Structure 1
Amino acid sequence: MTSESSVGKNAVNGIRTAFGVGGLIALVVGILILVWPGHTASVITAIIALYAIVVGLVYAGLGIFARTMGGWSRLGHIVLGVLFIIGGVIALTNLRASTVWFAVFLGIFIGIMWIVEGVVALTTLAGSRTKAFAVVFAILSIVAGVIVLLSPLWSAVVLWWLFGISLVVLGIVQIVRAFALSATAR
């Protein structure tokens, strides 16, 4: 029986550690977003740019070294790799402008998604049991999407702040869960 209880304690400790570490990471990132929103956004943009460069190198490497692919496939991989590398390098050379561009892009993307989501909600109205809620949701989604499209940069800033606040709250909740789990396991 002791081996079963030690396995159970190990599982609880593993879950508790995952909750604690995940909560701590969320809390720290959330605080960084709230304290240094621009710098944190630039760091995220730099990480995405570095990722693009690495992916570009992988695609280019596949195109150059994969002998089983056809000529057009290899050329396509090389071209795609070079484009990823160029995009990543350009983003890193002017990180501030890339961060702003990325924020505007995300704002426009979110605005379009909300409008499309509202339109889709209206098209599925016939099969909905709660038509009033579906209509209200669709209208709110379309209006929110239009507002975001009218000012995508400011909308992205507000969403960034909300994301930071959410991470702080969720991080604290996860850390509390980690401690509560250890108390119930005893």
Structure 2
Amino acid sequence: MTDSPAEAKSFVKSVRVFLTVSGVIALAAGIILLVWPGKSATVIAGIAVAIIGAYFIIGGLVYIALAIFSREKGGWSRVGHILLGLLYVVAGVIMFANFYASSAALIIITMIFIGVSWIVDGVVSLSLLKNSTSRVWTLLYAILSIIAGIVVFFAPLYTAAVLWIIVGITLVVLGVVQIVRAITLKTTATEAEFIQ
């Protein structure tokens, strides 16, 4: 609890500002995802590709430098580090040279990974079915997880698009709720004490 009514009002005002700002950001992000789903996905994937590509290039240069400047490494170790470094640098350059293809590949690989992990999670749930105290829910979870994993695995781009839209809708709803919370937040000192 706060010590004075002025501090309570200040606290409520701070909370209101936080809720408003976070709500507006979520709402704006959700609208962007829904209005420009392809462009926003491309931008997000592009940022990821840029980070990964830069990591590959920098990592490759570090491996090459280790091979050249290390006095303790033997001949084969140096050759291995140079080859690995060159492979990293080439991969990074290819990612930057084929930005859109790299973005699409990253999305596909991510979605396939999610699909496979859901399938494995379902199989693991099935293996635990005998010892489960809630067999019906475990079986239902396993079946849904396997089916969802198969769908994601065989239709990764479609699934990514659907998930992107769901994320957009979720952000819009959460943004609106945050803004409404900010507007309806109590402002008097006695009401503010109940918030804490």
TM class by shorter-chain length? 0.7 to 0.9
Match of 1:105 among 104, 109, 114: 109
Q: Structure 2 vs 1, CA of residues 30 and 86 (structure 1 numbering), >3 Å: closer, same or farther? A: farther
Question: Secondary structure, in 3 states, of the residue corresponding to 1:129?
Answer: coil
Identify if the C-alpha distance between structure 1 residues 5 and 89 changes in structure 2 by more than 3 Å, giving closer, same or farther.
Answer: farther
Q: Counterpart of 1:40?
A: 40
Kept in 1, the 8 Å contact 2:20–2:179? The answer is yes
Aligned to 2:138: 134
Deviation at 1:3, TM superposition (A): 5.5
Q: 8 Å contact 1:29–1:167 — kept in the other structure?
A: yes
Structure 2 unaligned blocks of 5 or more: 67-71
> Residue 163 of structure 2 corresponds to which residue in structure 1?
159
Q: Which amino acid aligns with 2:144?
A: L
Q: Is the 8 A contact 2:16 2:182 kept in 1?
A: yes
1:62-116 Cα shifts (integer Å, max 9, x gaps): 8769xxxx868xx97xx67x83x65555434333222221221122111112111
Q: TM-score, normalised by structure 2?
A: 0.72
| One-letter amino acid of the counterpart of residue 132, structure 1 | V
RMSD over equivalenced CA pairs, Å? 3.6
Given that 1:26 and 1:167 are in contact with CA atoms closer than 8 Å, whether structure 2 keeps it comes out as yes
Separation of aligned partners in 1, 2:192 and 2:61: 50
Q: Structure 1-normalised TM-score? A: 0.76
Q: Report the CA distance shift for 1:171/1:90 in structure 2 as closer, same or farther (over 3 A).
A: farther
Q: Which runs of 5+ in 1 are unaligned?
A: none
What residue identity is the alignment partner of 2:157? L
Matching of residue 115 in structure 1 with residue 119 in structure 2: yes
Contact 1:13 / 1:182 at 8 angstroms: preserved in 2? no
Q: Distance in 2 between matches of 1:109 and 1:39?
A: 23
Preserved CA contact (<8 Å) 1:46 1:92: no
> 8 Å contact 2:46–2:100 — kept in the other structure?
no
* Residue 174 (structure 2) pairs with residue 170 (structure 1): yes
Aligned partner of 2:69 in structure 1 is none
